[in-house]
Structure 1
Amino acid sequence: MTEKTKRIDVHHHIVPPAYIEALADVGVVNSLGANFPQWSVESMLEMMDRNGIQAAVTSISSPGVYFGSVPFASGLARKCNEISARLISDHPRRIGAFAVLPLPDVREAFREMEYSLDSLHLDGVCLLTNYAGRYPGDPAFEDLFSELDRRKAVVYVHPTDPPGGNPLGDHVPNFLMEVTFDTTRTIASLIFSGTLERYPDISFIFAHAGGTAPFLAWRLALGSFVWPGASERAPRDAFFYLRKLYYDTGLSASVHALRSLQSLVDESQILFGSDYPFAPEVLTVETVKGINAYDGFGEGAKQAVEWENALRLFPRLG
């Protein structure tokens, strides 16, 4: 694989049979309104080879592991993280992984975070945009973010269903549109709770080009002027915090999304992402085409987006 074609995919999911079976046992049979895709490590590696993907940093997608029972969530998180560790052991230069945590129980999540990073040596953690309606800016998550900041951890944030389920009904499934809105809610939660101000050493990556946050950046920046108390928690305007975040290209490599994102952040903050296998391989092909066709990226910027930026966060994958 040549440097011109190699890619590091930071938005790449695993869907182990053990995970699907555990969810079926509690009556969960889909993700964001879509059926779970077929997955195997063999098919994953073959797909990566076909699309010039040198390495993938994997994660468990929505709906995560919590369905009302903390023991169930803790056990399933441990099982998934140990599966991830075995995949890394078998394919150390090709597979990385974000740990799944049994939030909203912070004590159990803290324990699993320590085990995953210190014993399993996973590459970071994956958080969902909300847990039973609680967003990451909730004070309950303070100790977890404090420790992640101390570790200078990479935190990947993936959308899940908004509180209350599907606002538009089954004819517009959540994966089509709501995921982008919940990502934006989470970014706003982290900004206006002061979490991003207090914990500047966490490297946050947001899926799907940050949802609608790039388009709404100016509106979010108004919060400092029109919202009493906002500037006490977040003393700098929203643009400052938004420009510190990383954003992936999963399902977002259109000229409209990329131009909006590039108007907000430097190319050094944009990472290649496919959202495979929830987004089928044909959409990875379209993502690659979209990046290559986008006239806002010179050759150096494309190379940075496709692998160099991710390599700074995950040097062992080089």
Structure 2
Amino acid sequence: MASPLVDVHTHVYLPRYAEVLRSRSAAPRILTQNGEERLVILENEPSGGRPVGPQYWAREEKLRFMDLHGIDISIVSTANPWLDFFEAAEAHTVAKQLNDDMEEYCASSPAYADGPLKRLYGMGLLPLVPGISIDALLGCIAQIKALPHLHGLIMGTRGIGKGLDDEALEPVWKAIADAGLVVFLHPHYGVDSGAWGEKDNGHVLPLALGFPFETTTAITRFILAGVYDRVPDLRILLAHSGGTLPQLSSRLASCIDHDPVVAARLKHDARFYLGKLYFDAVCYGPEELGFVSEIVSRSERYAPGADNSSFVVANRKTGSGRMMFGTDHPFFPPLSSTEKWKSVVENLDAIDTVSGWDKEEKDGVRGGNALKIFGIL
């Protein structure tokens, strides 16, 4: 059997969640304008929200999109907004319901190539809101672990309100690692569209720059807290190829070296921890994809016992082995009904044309890595 094409960055607003958003009078919400439903994720969105329809919640539409683009298997996650607009008790109830809904969404999908695998697998959701009890979070982790078609969970960047470096989350990280689940870290809040200037640039700054900056800041806080030294088996997948962390990792390491308060927390050079992370391949260009892969490969030189002065990367496939294809469906649809989605075409082209990758590496990023890392095969 040929290596399947697997999409790890693909979202759904499950019908129950869509109904919650329709019931709200403030963002996040789904509202109706001129007979059209629009999703407003943040207040004062320059675009006034985006038009939504069945492709956002219908399983048949997800499968139709996959068939159109030759995607064999999708590992589907709930999309932002997260549940932090709820009070803790209601967030807990909704998270458990959505986890069960996601299991049904995936379990009812057809088989892949008439074999034992399904076309759809999923990620669960934790009620990460201020005031939630750690026991409630641990219970949701156990629930996700017990659902056979869920192999991970998606998480925002604020934790339970104090960031991912919050010491209260320590038992949560350990429980996720012990359960063998992948954490998909995904942004939501972005940056103010008026930051450092007044000109209207639509949603470009909050999305194109703000989302990657948010991911970078959140995972850097996590690294600085030393969590990977205490929970080394935790698997975290970063959206949008890790934001700007690969580009800034050496600068980060230098700043840590000159800050004794932070340096004392970590057992290793900050660049070592990039080799603990996973990255989606939503870069839209082969140069960017190759750069992230190379930076992650070089994390090996900072492993315990490595000689930094003369280290040569013995296995450059370390980086590509931690990258996985994604589409960000159903966002950024084609501008014409006759077009294929650029998020598919351009990201697949980037994988196919990265300089230096061999067929094994490309097949891994296209699907093999995801099946292994998410424990589907």
TM-score of the superposed pair, with normalisation by structure 2: 0.77
2:166 paired with 1:138: yes
1:149 to 177, 196, 201: 177
Contact 2:141–2:175 (8 Å) recurs in 1: no
C-alpha displacement of 1:286:
1.9
Partner of 1:35: 50
1:181 to 200, 213, 233: 213
2:361 paired with 1:301: yes
2:294 paired with 1:263: yes
Partner of 2:336: none
Which shows bigger deviation, 52-61 or 63-72? 63-72
Aligned partner letter, 2:156 = L
Partner of 1:83: 101
C-alpha displacement of 1:120:
5.7
5+ long unaligned stretches in structure 2: 30-39, 110-116, 297-318, 334-340
1:171 to 201, 219, 227: 201
Measure the CA separation in 1 of the matches of 2:239 and 2:258: 28
Which shows bigger deviation, 78-87 or 123-132? 123-132
Measure the CA separation in 2 of the matches of 1:149 and 1:167: 39
- 1:60-109: per-residue Cα shift (whole Å, max 9, x none)? 12111220411332222122211110022112611111111110323432
Measure the CA separation in 1 of the matches of 2:151 and 2:322: 18
Aligned partner letter, 1:272 = F
Measure the CA separation in 2 of the matches of 1:89 and 1:190: 33
1:219 to 237, 251, 262: 251
What secondary structure sits across from 1:300 in the alignment? helix
Measure the CA separation in 1 of the matches of 2:21 and 2:11: 16
Partner of 1:275: 328
Partner of 2:35: none
2:241 to 191, 204, 209: 209
Contact 2:193–2:201 (8 Å) recurs in 1: no
1:97 to 112, 122, 133: 122
Which shows bigger deviation, 26-35 or 119-128? 26-35
2:297 paired with 1:287: no
C-alpha displacement of 1:259:
2.8
Aligned partner letter, 1:53 = I
Contact 1:130–1:186 (8 Å) recurs in 2: yes
- Between structure 1 and structure 2, the one with the greater Rg is 2
Measure the CA separation in 1 of the matches of 2:349 and 2:368: 18
Contact 1:129–1:157 (8 Å) recurs in 2: yes
C-alpha displacement of 1:161:
0.3
- 1:166-198: per-residue Cα shift (whole Å, max 9, x none)? 553873422222110011011211110011211
Measure the CA separation in 2 of the matches of 1:292 and 1:182: 29
The structure, 1 or 2, with the larger RCO (C-alpha pairs under 8 Å, 6+ apart) is 1
Partner of 2:316: none
What secondary structure sits across from 1:214 in the alignment? helix
Contact 1:253–1:291 (8 Å) recurs in 2: no
Contact 1:153–1:201 (8 Å) recurs in 2: no
What secondary structure sits across from 1:59 in the alignment? strand
Distance change (3 Å), C-alpha of 1:36 and 1:207: farther
2:271 paired with 1:239: yes
Partner of 1:67: 85
Measure the CA separation in 2 of the matches of 1:232 and 1:132: 26
Aligned partner letter, 1:58 = V
Distance change (3 Å), C-alpha of 1:36 and 1:70: farther
Distance change (3 Å), C-alpha of 1:114 and 1:167: farther
Measure the CA separation in 1 of the matches of 2:194 and 2:224: 25
Q: CA RMSD in A?
A: 2.2
1:24 to 22, 26, 41: 22
2:12 paired with 1:14: yes
Contact 1:36–1:278 (8 Å) recurs in 2: no
C-alpha displacement of 1:229:
2.2
TM-score of the superposed pair, with normalisation by structure 1: 0.90
Distance change (3 Å), C-alpha of 1:241 and 1:69: same
What secondary structure sits across from 1:155 in the alignment? strand
- 1:274-303: per-residue Cα shift (whole Å, max 9, x none)? 111123333222211222232242222110
1:123 to 127, 148, 151: 151
Which shows bigger deviation, 119-128 or 184-193? 119-128
What secondary structure sits across from 1:67 in the alignment? coil
- 1:252-287: per-residue Cα shift (whole Å, max 9, x none)? 131342132022122111111111112333322221
C-alpha displacement of 1:247:
0.1
Partner of 1:56: 74
What secondary structure sits across from 1:142 in the alignment? helix
Measure the CA separation in 2 of the matches of 1:253 and 1:54: 20
